[in-house]
């Protein structure tokens, strides 16, 4: 029997003693301790400390690490097994911002029935963790394969909230009427309070949920069924120009029937508005830009005034277009790539919107499934 075959620290020590022809008392004498502790070590009733490992190594002419390693391996083998859910929680955490999802109240194992793992499955609408997108490492491509996990978690949160809503049946005509009505709201930031009501009356489920850190998500359009469109927004940039551009962009997706087969997630819309990634995005960008400030007039103003855009000129132009100056400023900043231009007109609107709907995030949690 060699040291590699020793099953316990005691067996390893006994083997080394026998190789020297020693008994327990001999080893105890060599080390300078009583026979009792040595007897306990030999019967694995006493652990080998690091100091004892060095003493044994010196007395028995063996590397001290050999005894220390044998003890460590033996302790691991005897230790109670971990909670079987540890590995599943690790799987989730390795792909999804799980702690942030718990912090946001999307998953709440302390106040909702079911374990954390069961709640994750419920959140994604599946029966087991193997069915959660991005947790199944098989080669099979899913509908969500190209969506980063943090964005996908946000999408499913929007879906979770949308399922709790019960607006009337979707009407394309009413949504078009709502978009026309929105034009009269572009000049007054407080008017965004009316947006949720118009969308609800058109049969559109409108969800505002704060995005997860680094997700860069602005909006989403998808359908729960052929008569139940959903518009989700993160209000990642709390600015009047971004709000109307993203809202009109998502309305365009709904009106054109986009997103029925697979959700359309709009990431970093402002950065991508000049170079759309698909025909659907090109159409939605065009409709949104035309809504914020008619493109022909915007281009004409830009060419006449570039590179000197005075505040008085911008305000006068915005008044003629019947829009808030922030909408014109937002367009000018992108066209001129001057993001410091007249920033004070990019007023915030989230607080106005919060007065007419429950928003998920920013310290609030929309209750679902309770």
User: Tens of pLDDT along 162-199?
Assistant: 999 999 999 999 999 999 999 999 999 999 999 999 99
Percent of the chain as helix, strand, coil, to the nearest 5? 55, 5, 40
Nearby residues of 101 by Cβ (< 8 Å), 6 or more positions away? 107, 123, 153, 212
pLDDT for 278 equals 87
**The pLDDT of residue 2 is above 80:** no
* Overall average pLDDT of the 262-273 stretch: 83
Contact call for residues 209 and 361 (beta carbons, < 8 A): yes
Binned at pLDDT 50, 70 and 90, residue 215 comes out as confident
Which range among 104-118, 225-239, 253-267, 343-357 shows the weakest confidence by mean pLDDT? 104-118
- Residue 144 confidence (pLDDT) above 80: no
Q: Across residues 316-342, what is the average pLDDT?
A: 93
Q: Which of 68-82, 100-114, 184-198 has the highest mean pLDDT?
A: 184-198
pLDDT value for 273: 67
The domains of the chain are located at 3-78, 85-131, 149-354
Q: Is 164 helix (H, G, I), strand (E, B) or coil?
A: coil
Average pLDDT of the residues in 280-294: 93
End-to-end CA distance of the chain: give it in Å, rounded: 63
- In three-state secondary structure terms, 24 is helix
Q: Is the previous residue joined to 307 through a cis bond, with omega within 30 degrees of 0?
A: yes
**In this structure, are residues 215 and 148 in contact, taking their beta carbons and an 8 Å threshold?**
yes
Predicted pLDDT at 53: 95
Whether residue 144 contacts residue 132, with contact meaning beta carbons closer than 8 Å, is answered with: no
Q: Which residues of 149-162 are buried (b: 16+ CB within 10 A; e: fewer)?
A: bbbbbbbbbbbbbb
Q: What is the pTM of this model?
A: 0.81
- The mean pLDDT of 63-91, rounded to a whole number, is 88
- Mean residue pLDDT across the chain: 90
Q: Domain 3-78 is classified in which CATH homologous superfamily?
A: lambda repressor-like DNA-binding domains (1.10.260.40)
Average pLDDT of the residues in 132-161: 79
Q: Annotate 236-269 with b (16+ C-beta within 10 A) or e (fewer).
A: bbebbbbbbbbbbbbbbbbbeebbeeebbbbbeb
Determine the Cα–Cα distance for residues 33 and 49; give it in Å rounded to an integer: 14
């Amino acid at each position: 029997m060699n040291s590699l075959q020793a099953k316990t620290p005691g067996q390893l020590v006994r083997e080394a003693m026998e190789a020297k022809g020693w008994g327990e008392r001999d080893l105890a004498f060599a080390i300078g301790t009583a026979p009792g502790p040595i007897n306990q070590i030999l019967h694995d009733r006493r652990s080998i400390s690091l100091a004892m490992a060095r003493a044994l190594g010196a007395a028995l002419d063996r590397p001290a690490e050999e005894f220390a390693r044998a003890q460590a391996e033996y302790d691991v083998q005897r230790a109670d097994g971990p909670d079987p859910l540890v590995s599943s929680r690790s799987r989730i955490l390795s792909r999804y911002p799980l702690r942030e999802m718990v912090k946001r109240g999307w998953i709440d194992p302390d106040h909702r029935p079911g374990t954390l793992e069961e709640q994750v499955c419920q959140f994604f609408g599946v029966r087991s963790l193997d069915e959660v997108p991005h947790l199944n490492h098989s080669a099979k491509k899913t509908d969500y394969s190209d969506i980063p996990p943090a964005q996908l978690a946000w999408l499913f949160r929007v879906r979770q909230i949308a399922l709790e809503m019960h607006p009337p049946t979707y009407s394309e005509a009413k949504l078009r009427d709502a978009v026309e009505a929105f034009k009269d709201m572009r000049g007054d930031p407080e008017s965004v309070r009316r947006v949720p009501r118009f969308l609800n009356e058109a049969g559109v489920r409108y969800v505002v949920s704060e995005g997860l850190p680094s997700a860069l998500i602005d909006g989403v359009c998808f359908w729960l069924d052929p008569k139940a469109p959903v518009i989700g927004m993160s209000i990642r940039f709390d600015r009047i120009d971004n709000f109307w551009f993203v809202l009109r962009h998502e309305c365009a997706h709904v009106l054109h029937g986009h997103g029925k087969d697979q959700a359309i997630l709009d990431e970093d819309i402002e950065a991508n508005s000049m170079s759309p990634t698909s025909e659907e995005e090109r159409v939605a960008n065009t409709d949104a830009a035309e809504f914020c400030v008619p493109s022909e007039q915007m281009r004409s103003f830009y060419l006449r005034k570039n590179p000197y855009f005075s505040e008085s000129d911008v305000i006068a132009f915005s008044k003629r277009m019947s829009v808030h100056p922030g909408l014109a400023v937002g367009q000018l900043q992108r066209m001129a790539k001057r993001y410091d231009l007249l920033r004070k007109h990019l007023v915030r609107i989230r607080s106005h919107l919060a007065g007419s709907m429950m928003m998920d995030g920013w310290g609030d949690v929309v209750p679902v499934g309770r």
